[in-house]
Amino acid sequence: MTKEEVFNKVKDIIVDQLDVDADKITMTTNFTEDLALDSLDVFEVIDKIEDEYDIEIETDKGMETVGDLVDYVFKQQTK
C-alpha cells in the first residue's frame, strides 16, 4: 500500500466520521486549527483507523496533522 492510498483512506474516514468537507483535508491539515476537532473527534478517527488497518495507535501525541497520522499508519503497514 502506498502512502497516497493510506492518505486517501484516512481522508475518507475523517470525512465519514466527522462530516467535514473532503476538499479541506490535505497532508498539512491540522486537526485542531484547520478542522476545529476536539480530542474526542480525533479519538473517533483514530479508533476507526485502528479497526480499518488492524493496528494499535498508542497515543495521539504528536499527531497534529493529517500527514502525521498518515505517516504513522504507513509505517505500521510497512513493518
Identify the residue whose cell numbers are 486517501. Answer: 8
Confidence of residue 71 (pLDDT cuts 50, 70, 90): very high
Distance in angstroms (rounded) separating the CA atoms of residues 61 and 64 = 8
pLDDT (tens digit, 9 = 90+) per residue, 16-58?
999 999 999 999 999 999 999 998 998 899 999 999 999 999 8
- What kind of architecture, by CATH, is found in domain 3-77? Orthogonal Bundle (1.10)
Residues with catalytic function: 38
What pLDDT shows up at residue 62? 81
pTM (2 d.p.): 0.91
CA 10 to chain centre: 5
Are 40 and 17 within 8 A, CB to CB? Answer: no
Domain boundaries, the chain: 3-77
